[in-house]
Structure 1
Amino acid sequence: MRGTTVLPGEGNSGWPGEEGMPTHRLEVPMPNTLPFAIGTFDTIGPMSRAAFPHRHTFHEIVHVTGGTGSHVVDLARYVLRPPNLCFIAPGQVHHWENATGLEGHVILFTDDFLLDHPADREALRGPGRGCWLELRDEAADRTARLVADLDGEYRAGAEGFPSVLRALLHVLVVRAARLPARHPAAAPPAPRTRPGSVAADFMALLSAPEDPLWSVRGCARQLGVSESYLSETVKASTGRTPGELIRQARMHEAKRLLLRTELSVRQVAGRVGFADPAYFCRFFRRETGASPGDFRHGHGDIHHDHRLESIARARPSA
């Protein structure tokens, strides 16, 4: 990963004061580049402690071991009482308020990094979305060791390190789900409608283990809403359209099947809703830059310069 950038046609360059909500994504230029990064607030860069509301298309886990201030996630304000652990799902709007002396680590990864543990995708988007945990005693010590192990594996890049990183991240997610989340200092007012619930139900449809729906029309019909309402609510909640999220979910499932099963390309195409394998191959190449066969055989050849030096972007000149 080389850094963060705005999604084509969405948001802006990532700085406030420009048209559209700042939207960041991890830029993965090659199909086999590791979609994961971990570092301190300093090594990740200024965007890791941005004081303006923004969202991104990747997952972020923040382990705060020092500092003062507040973290606002979807209008809910959490006062720092280190050590804390915070989970920010793709599409959530967040920023730091009056934060000083931040210490700890930031973990960034895309859905593609969860191929070995697909249930973690739902766990990271489920009831714990935006959860803010206060770590005490044994939980604090275990979390600190896990984060230190993740950081060490990532920096060393030794043989087999991607699988170790995935295993450690899985343990972190499962253990965090066992801990009670802290209530925000000031909860947002109750919504007059339930757009957030519709968006959550939509995401659950895309994560269904059996017969996921691969069309906006099918999802809208299943949820009992119009296509336009579904588009509006999902866009407001996640910053992305239902069509974009469906395309992402199909790609994620296709990658999982290619890497974790012996299914043929034709069978994989059918599983993700493509009746024409040739069209699936064109779609896959357009999205990843590689054919399904090349992706299956070449995955795991991680580039040597896998580490993300910084996600800081140069502020545009006046």
Structure 2
Amino acid sequence: MSSPASIRYVPLAGYGRPPVVIMPILNRTTGPGETFRPHRHDFQEVIWIHSGAGTHTIDGREGELRGPCVSLIARGQVHAFREMRELNGYAVSFTEDLLGGTPTGRTNRLLFNYSPGDRTFPVPPEVQRAAEGLLDLAEREYARARETGDLTLLRPLMEALLVLVRRSVFAGLGVGENAEVGLVGRFLDLLERDFVRHHDVAHYAERLHVSAKHLSRATNAGLGKSAKGLIQDRVILEARRLLSFTDLSVKEVTAEVGFADPFSFSRAFKAAVGVSPQDFRDAWKK
């Protein structure tokens, strides 16, 4: 079992000058015995697969990559590739301040929410056609920005890319783009701060000065899930991380995620994941 310190927390700063990294994935196939060490992202990442197939894990949950598709990895998630079979596409990583202050910045933040596990979505054909040219241009402009530090063109290219990501995500979720972006964004910020201490929708609705029903309507419209569901997702996500990547006992994990006793925690965890916390940990260690 890994200790928290042994999970590499990868910063974006080491990759280059601009607050974005665009790396092509060129006909990548996993070699015999090749393994990937799980690592924590200190940035947001979009993995856009044009063709090929493979598998990867996000917070210990395995997901499939089959092009064309787009996969989202949020800051703080633990990620690793497991297998790649002739994968082609791009890995686009960026810090949140890249889009700070832009018209779509707050909307784009909603893409990287706390839904559990793999967030991979098929890409509609018309979106894929637009993405291929856009990503090629963005890669060339990224190389230029590394030399000059000039983000004048790279920033709007990233905005345009995330518009295409949103179209794929919303098509996959079956929701529209008419979310109350400001309210949902403030809720996610508050959730990240308070999820250990507060598991009830009423706390968040009161702090945001809306009713619980209003808050859930907004999260359903923007993220396809109720406020209560998002709170539960965030709590269980943290529990999965601690059970998978630390040596904390189940009793200690219970306290870390804000449950009063191991029985209540075990019941909630099993309802969400399908197995008890101990069984989940035992299966992960195999």
1:203 Cα offset (Å): 3.9
DSSP 3-state at the match of 2:67 = coil
DSSP 3-state at the match of 1:171 = helix
Partner of 1:110: 95
Count how many residue pairs are aligned between Structure 1 and Structure 2. 187
AA at the equivalent of 1:168: L
DSSP 3-state at the match of 2:111 = helix
- Note the alpha carbon deviations across 1:8-39, whole angstroms, 9 max, x for none: xx954xxxxxxx32321112699xx4211112
1:107 Cα offset (Å): 0.8
Aligned match for 1:77, one of 62, 71, 76: 62
**2:13 aligned with 1:27, yes or no?**
yes
DSSP 3-state at the match of 2:131 = helix
The runs of 5 or more residues in structure 1 that have no matched partner are 1-9, 13-19, 184-199, 208-215, 225-231, 241-318
Percent identical residues: 23
1:25/1:57 contact within 8 Å kept:
yes
CA distance in 2, matches of 1:81, 1:121: 23
**2:122 aligned with 1:147, yes or no?**
no
CA distance in 1, matches of 2:18, 2:240: 24
CA distance in 1, matches of 2:153, 2:239: 33
CA distance in 2, matches of 1:116, 1:201: 15
**2:122 aligned with 1:137, yes or no?**
no
Partner of 2:109: 122
**2:23 aligned with 1:39, yes or no?**
yes
Aligned match for 2:162, one of 149, 168, 173: 173
CA distance in 1, matches of 2:48, 2:107: 18
1:167 Cα offset (Å): 1.1
Partner of 1:236: 238
Q: Aligned in 2, Cα 1:74/1:206: closer, same or farther, shift over 3 Å?
A: closer
CA distance in 2, matches of 1:233, 1:23: 21
TM-score, scaled to structure 2: 0.52
AA at the equivalent of 1:37: V
CA distance in 1, matches of 2:14, 2:131: 28
Q: Cα RMSD (Å) of the superposition? A: 4.3
Structure 2 matches for 1:212-251, cutoff 5 A? 223=204, 236=238
DSSP 3-state at the match of 1:91 = coil
Partner of 1:254: none
1:39/1:106 contact within 8 Å kept:
yes
AA at the equivalent of 2:134: L
CA distance in 1, matches of 2:93, 2:15: 16
